[in-house]
Amino acid sequence: MTKKILITGGAGFIGTHLINKLTNMGSWEIIVLDSLIDQVHPNGLWQKPDNVTFFHADIRDQEPVRQALTGVEYVVHLAAETGVGQSAYEIARYVGTNEYGTAVLLEEISKINQQIKSVVLASSRAVYGEGRYYCNVCGPVFPLGRSLKALNNAQWDHLCPECDTVLTVQPSMEHQPLSPSSVYAITKHNQEQLLTLFADTFNVPSTILRFQNVYGPGQSLSNPYTGILSLFSTRIKNGNPVFIYEDGLEQRDFVYVEDVVNSILLALSKPSSRGEIFNIGTGEGTTVMDIAKILNEKLGGTSDIQVTGQFRAGDIRHAIASLTNSENNLGYTPTTSIAEGLTKLSAWVNSQQVMTDTYLAMESEMKQKGIMG
Ligand SMILES: NC(=O)c1ccc[n+]([C@@H]2O[C@H](COP(=O)([O-])OP(=O)(O)OC[C@H]3O[C@@H](n4cnc5c(N)ncnc54)[C@H](O)[C@@H]3O)[C@@H](O)[C@H]2O)c1
Ligand SMILES: [Zn+2]
């Protein structure tokens, strides 16, 4: 028997991979609702797979959302505006799609809640803000954002607020204090809270997945506002230098898109995941400098990797996920190493038309808005 699933934002990067996987499984009837925003779909087009029913509509519009939910038992909510830096000044747009859009979706689900078996929300590591650190003298610390003064003085690492010792990063855990430090992060946190309250009130099974930095084939190579690896790829393919913020030693947890898709399938199928929040990453940090070097090599590029000492207000220093909870209670284990994942990403990038590099225009927009130093 086929199971009917609605994927909001299904025409995007993660959605496309999820559709492929569900299609190969053969037991899913797939509905996609997506407004195909310009920033992600520059020509306003999407190669809709034959087996997908497509609602070309905005998540904020009740009527198409209602129609798209007809007969649906499973919902994966991916539709969102996703640029952290851009969200600082496009506030209405980010809050509109991410929060109001989620509100519309949940309100429409509430009208049919008896048939819903699982709602999965794509949340983000951004909700942690700076995350969890350790001071050798004082113990665990959850630092606030770095001050402009510290950043202007190239003091990139967090210092202990009690004794000024340089702090060591620790993997973030799901139930540690949250500290969303961008408009985007606030909207993802509010999505989580709306879904949690809604799920309790209407007894709807729901799962929240907090993705780290997702990468892989199909990432938008033309969107300079999000996805550091696609942004670097476009710089490298144009033969331009890759500029690295701060000292290049900031760490991110880069997770391959197929691992993310597997986590969504686990959340949809495992009753034990209901009402839970799970980190989805690799559990390991890689410096931005290292990832840029490996990518340059894999793409066969000749770009200079330049540490500029510039910074963006609101950027966090490090992000690494603890996988203890997702391994134990979701059964999630990442299977793709950084080396393998970057090989696959590079092969795909090399098969694509080289995109116009709009990085400098994005950077001057950030400077003009006053969020880049
Ligand atoms: N890619 C990552 O690194 C990452 C990390 C953490 C969380 N996430 C979350 O995962 C989800 C999917 O991310 P992605 O990387 O596939 O992004 P994406 O930008 O490729 O896909 C998002 C899709 O949402 C659609 N969309 C945007 N606004 C809409 C609206 N108002 N109505 C309907 N559709 C709309 C876009 O057209 C796009 O197809 C997002 O919720 C994002 O916040 C992604
Ligand atoms: Zn201390």
**Reported confidence tier of residue 341, pLDDT bands at 50, 70, 90:** very high
Pocket test for ligand 1, best of 17, 36, 37 (most atoms within 8 A of CB): 37
Distance 77 CA to ligand 1 centre (A): 9
In the chain, % of residues over pLDDT 90: 87
Asked if residue 95 has pLDDT above 90, the reply is: yes
- The answer to whether the CB of 46 falls within 8 A of the CB of 25 is no
**Reported confidence tier of residue 318, pLDDT bands at 50, 70, 90:** very high
Distance 169 CA to ligand 2 centre (A): 13
Q: Where are the beta strands (DSSP E) in 137-250?
A: 139-141, 168-170, 206-211, 213-215, 242-244
Task: Please state the separation of Cα 306 from the chain's center in Å.
Answer: 25
**60 CB under 6 A from ligand 1?**
yes
**Reported confidence tier of residue 113, pLDDT bands at 50, 70, 90:** low
**Average pLDDT, stretch 309-319?**
90
The ligand with the least distance to the CA atom of 87 is 1
Atom of ligand 1 nearest to the CA of 14: 16
Q: Which residues are catalytic?
A: 184
Residue type, 89: Y
Task: Please state the separation of Cα 208 from the chain's center in Å.
Answer: 13
Residue type, 18: L
CA 234 to each of CA 39, 176, 350: distance values in angstroms, whole numbers, following the listed order: 15, 36, 10
216 Cβ contact partners less than 8 Å away, ≥ 6 residues apart: 13, 17, 256, 257, 258, 341, 344, 345, 348
Q: Can you tell me whether residue 223 is helix, strand or coil? A: coil
pLDDT tens per residue across span 257-266 = 999 999 999 9
**12 CB under 6 A from ligand 1?**
yes
The pLDDT of residue 11: 98
191 Cβ contact partners less than 8 Å away, ≥ 6 residues apart: 77, 80, 98, 99, 102, 121, 123
The protein residue whose alpha carbon is closest to atom 4 in ligand 1 is 214
Distance 120 CA to ligand 1 centre (A): 14
The pLDDT of residue 272: 87
Q: Half-sphere exposure (CA, 13 Å, Cβ side) for 70?
A: 7
**279 CB under 6 A from ligand 1?**
no
pLDDT tens per residue across span 37-92 = 999 998 888 999 999 999 999 999 999 999 999 999 999 999 999 999 899 999 99
Q: Half-sphere exposure (CA, 13 Å, Cβ side) for 93?
A: 11
Asked if residue 252 has pLDDT above 70, the reply is: yes
In the chain, % of residues over pLDDT 70: 99
| Range of lowest pLDDT (179-183, 207-211, 274-278, 360-364) | 360-364
Asked if residue 182 has pLDDT above 80, the reply is: yes
Task: Please state the separation of Cα 69 from the chain's center in Å.
Answer: 24
Kindly report the CATH number that applies to the domain delimited by 3-131+172-368: 3.40.50.720
pLDDT tens per residue across span 143-163 = 999 999 999 999 999 999 999
| Range of lowest pLDDT (180-194, 322-336, 346-360) | 346-360
- Please state, rounded to an integer, the average pLDDT across all residues of the chain: 95
27 Cβ contact partners less than 8 Å away, ≥ 6 residues apart: 1, 2, 3
The pLDDT of residue 171: 98
Q: Half-sphere exposure (CA, 13 Å, Cβ side) for 222?
A: 14
The pLDDT of residue 285: 97
Pocket test for ligand 1, best of 13, 63, 208, 231 (most atoms within 8 A of CB): 13
Distance 308 CA to ligand 1 centre (A): 29
**Reported confidence tier of residue 367, pLDDT bands at 50, 70, 90:** confident
Q: What does residue 55 show for φ and ψ, rounded to 5 degrees?
A: -105, 105
For residues 179 and 95, give the distance between their C-alpha atoms in angstroms, rounded to a whole number.
17
Distance 335 CA to ligand 1 centre (A): 23
pLDDT tens per residue across span 297-308 = 999 999 999 999
The pLDDT of residue 43: 85
34 Cβ contact partners less than 8 Å away, ≥ 6 residues apart: 8, 9, 10, 11, 12, 15, 46, 54, 55, 56, 57, 79
Residue type, 282: T
Pocket test for ligand 1, best of 54, 82, 87, 263 (most atoms within 8 A of CB): 82
**174 CB under 6 A from ligand 1?**
no
Distance 132 CA to ligand 2 centre (A): 13
**Reported confidence tier of residue 371, pLDDT bands at 50, 70, 90:** confident
The pLDDT of residue 372: 74
The protein residue whose alpha carbon is closest to atom 39 in ligand 1 is 12
For residues 343 and 341, give the distance between their C-alpha atoms in angstroms, rounded to a whole number.
5
The protein residue whose alpha carbon is closest to atom 12 in ligand 1 is 78
The ligand with the least distance to the CA atom of 164 is 2
Atom of ligand 1 nearest to the CA of 11: 39
Q: Can you tell me whether residue 257 is helix, strand or coil? A: helix
236 Cβ contact partners less than 8 Å away, ≥ 6 residues apart: 242, 295, 296, 299, 301, 303
The protein residue whose alpha carbon is closest to atom 2 in ligand 1 is 214
Q: Give the residue range(s) of CATH 3.40.50.720 domains in the chain.
A: 3-131+172-368
Atom of ligand 1 nearest to the CA of 36: 37
Distance 319 CA to ligand 2 centre (A): 20
How wide is the angle at C-alpha 209 spanned by C-alphas 226 and 53, nearest 5°? 75
**82 CB under 6 A from ligand 1?**
yes
The pLDDT of residue 114: 64
